[in-house]
Amino acid sequence: MKGPLFNTAVVLAGIYVFLKFILPLFTAPLPASLIFLYLALTLGALMIFYTMSGESLEAFMGPVHRFLVGEGQTGVANIARLLVFIVFPLLVGWQTYTKLAPSDDPPPESRTIHPAPPGEFVGLANPYPKNNQTIQEGKGIYASNCSPCHGENFDGKGLAAVGFNPPPANFSDPGTIAQLQESYLFWRIKKGGVGLPVEGMPWKSAMPRWEHELSDEKIWKVIIGEYDGAHQSPRTWEEEE
Amino acid sequence: MAGRKILMVALVTTLWYGWLGASWVFPSDPPPAGEELESVAVRVYLTEGALPSDDPHSAVWDSAAPSEFKLAPQVHWPDRIQEATVKSVKVRGLHNGQDVAILVEYQDPTEDAADAAALEFMVGDKKAHFAHGQELLQVEGGPVNIWYWKKANGKGTDMSAKGFKTLRPQDQQDVSATGAWQDGTWKVVFSRPLETGDEHDVQINPGEWISVAFAFWDGQIVDGAIKEQGSQKAVSSWWYIRAEPQPDNSIYGYVVLGIAMAVGFEFFLIRKIRRGNQA
């Protein structure tokens, strides 16, 4: 069985196994579309190689041709050949159906989780120091206003959290407030969901516009309490440079 | 010359099989792991004949698979509540090309005059906030259409809002509603023509995805006061609803055409190879 066709199959399988299973041990998993692209490039390169001369092309395509025309084939190979000829049109029909069948899935939505804040909220510093008093004050404000959705444990699992889409942020997740500066939280708390730009889909967010109910002082203090309660630290300018 | 033909055939074959194989092996990446939501959309099934618009218990409703949505106490704006009676709702939809009927089914231990239910829809092209289309600060928002039912009224009310304190019954009333309570469960049917010609209404075109939200009030009297009323209610944020379009049978014609072309391609391929071998 060894020959150019066999070698091609081995090379493609090897690259697939490497990209799909071995590479993710060292880096992030590759998307399926990228793996497909790499395999297509490899196949293209091999095709160019095998079509360089008549002999190499014959060595590569010869077995395929002989299989397709049924040249000198025994019973089992002939049945396999027949199966290929039956399955191929059915596959094309199935593909046509799945491409044309109306979808019952809603339109996809790509919501930006942390869109850019308006200029006036960039780089504001918390005017209140982090100490026991401000932490306790902040946690008190959090308990009465924020915890119904964001949870007593700052994990986004409050009693009211289940009904909302998108769900309330989980502050203990390192992907939320640990990635953000205090000024960003100040904007999001003060202006709420309705203050988001279009890419944040402001019409879906249940985050209240707290400026109607909490003073700036309370908002800054709740930020201190939130970071402490979630065991996270705000992102700072120094770390970015 | 024969070599060039064989090369072309080889390339076409490889591309065909490559494309088919790739579609099998790489359908698409699975969605990121996370909590699976129970439903994201209500499917309004196409049916024939009259809709069970005034009968929440009709057996016809069994033909429509329900979607289920969890609800939260309304904590978005004052006056808030921290816990609401209704925790989730099952929603079924039917339409017959003329009218639409939507059945909501939810647990409420007591039957009270102030019990109420509402469906909310975005109207027009502009996105509206699920809280009565309240003002968006960086985006121009649109209005909402609310279909409201209250046990004491015994009928549906067609309403509009664009912002807090703007909720008003419309001049042109198009919505009917009827509710039935049994063993701790409310079943309420809302119905309306798919299209009303009223610019304040959501127009339901089969095949089109529309944003929908839900609200429920427990009107039980506790300590002389109604437990949930006004902004104190169980709510959802936006989900989708879609009326099924008429089935498109032309798809099967294309499937047959695709199969015929594939069979033709096989004959063409073998002929080419045989001729190439003879040359």
d(CA A188, CA A174): 18
Interface contact flag, B261 A196, Cβ < 8 Å: no
Interchain pair B258, A95: CB under 8 A: yes
pLDDT per residue rounded down to tens, chain B (279 residues): 455 555 555 556 666 666 666 666 555 554 444 444 468 899 999 999 999 999 999 999 999 999 999 999 999 999 999 899 999 999 999 999 999 999 999 999 999 999 999 999 999 999 999 999 999 999 999 999 999 999 999 999 999 999 999 999 999 999 999 999 999 999 999 999 999 999 999 999 999 999 999 999 999 999 999 999 999 999 999 999 999 998 888 899 999 999 999 999 999 988 988 887 776
H-state helical runs in chain A: 4-17, 32-50, 54-69, 75-100, 132-145, 147-150, 182-191, 216-229, 237-240
Q: Who among B80, B134, B238 is closest to A204 (CB)?
A: B238
Please name which of B3, B14, B16 lies closest in space to residue B272, comparing C-alpha atoms.
B3
DSSP string, B16-85: HHHHHHHHHH-S-PPPPSSPPPS-SEEEEEE--S---TT-TT-GGGGGS--EEEE-EE--SSSSP-S--S
Phi, psi of B187 (to 5 degrees): -125, 120
Count of A–B CB contacts within 8 Å? 167
Chain A residues whose CB is inside 8 A of the B207 CB are 102
Going A74 to A77 to A79 to A84, the CA torsion angle's sign is negative
Q: Could you give the angle at which helices A216-229 and A182-191 cross, rounded to 10 degrees?
A: 120
Give the Cα separation of A185 and B92 in Å (integer).
Answer: 40
Closest Cα partner for A145 from A61, A224, A218, A56? Answer: A218
Nearest CB to B72; choose among A33, A69, A164: A164
Q: What is the pLDDT of residues A188-223, one digit of tens each?
A: 999 999 999 999 999 999 999 999 999 999 999 999
Q: What span, in angstroms and rounded, lies between the C-alpha atoms of B118 and B215?
A: 5
A159 to A188, B70, B139: CA distances (angstroms): 21, 12, 30
Q: How far is CA B245 from CA A99, B95, B203, in A?
A: 17, 10, 14
**Which distant-in-sequence residues (6+ apart) come within 8 Å of A34 by Cβ?**
none
Tens-place pLDDT, residues B188-198:
999 999 999 99
Write the residue in B83, B236, B270 that is nearest to A159 by C-beta.
Answer: B83
What ipTM did this prediction achieve?
A: 0.79
Other Cβ atoms within 10 Å of A211 Cβ, number: 14
Pairwise CA distance, residues A157 & A111, whole Å: 21
B247: three-class secondary structure by DSSP: coil
- Cβ contact, residue pair A69, B251, below 8 Å: no
* Predicted structure pTM score: 0.78
Q: In angstroms, what separates the C-alpha of B137 from chain A's closest C-alpha? A: 5
